[in-house]
Amino acid sequence: MPSYQFVLNGSPVTVEAPADMPLLWVLRDKLGVTGPKYGCGVGVCRACTSHLDGAEVQPCVVPVADCAGRTVTTIEGLADGDRLHPVQEAWLECDVAQCGFCQPGQIMTAVALLRTNENPSDADIDRIENVCRCGSYARIRDAVKRAAAKMP
């Protein structure tokens, strides 16, 4: 079985897996990283959203072979030690989570948005396609705006 090396949340990892194994299963089943959630398996619900070289991806549809030599960041790698990322802080302050299942993906998408748009409008935020079955979209919008105000 081939092995792949990449940086996961700041640390180098090596994993043996079939080339076409989705990154989500490598993260969860082989590396024990459980923040990215399995929702649909086809990249639509976006519960698994993570970052690959800083860009938002859905690891349920990214083969592990595509990650070799690259950097993968999940919700577990977003904080700086004990200091939460401003988006994570805003999520807590706005009491966004209800069931919490989609929140890692929501947060990772919000971070990606704020990297490219420092002051997103309601319309910009509403274009986030992550599914929240609890319907906490208004609080998500509030949290993204609060996080934008906190970002350096």
| pLDDT at residue 101, rounded to an integer | 92
Of 77, 95, 117, the last residue of a domain is 77
| pLDDT at residue 21, rounded to an integer | 98
Q: Is residue 152 over pLDDT 90?
A: no
What pTM does this model have? 0.95
| Residue 48 Cα to chain centre, angstroms | 6
Q: What residue numbers bound the domain in which 70 lies?
A: 3-77
Whether residues 22 and 69 share a domain: the answer is yes
Of 77, 103, 118, the last residue of a domain is 77
Whether residues 90 and 144 share a domain: the answer is yes
Q: For 31-60, what is each residue's pLDDT tens digit?
A: 999 999 999 999 999 999 999 999 999 999
Q: Is residue 94 over pLDDT 90?
A: yes
| pLDDT at residue 48, rounded to an integer | 98
Report CA-CA distances (Å) from 88 to 23, 44, 129: 23, 23, 19
Whether residues 91 and 69 share a domain: the answer is no
Write down the number of H helices and E strands in the chain: 5, 5
Residue 108 belongs to a domain with what CATH number? 1.10.150.120
Whether residues 46 and 7 share a domain: the answer is yes
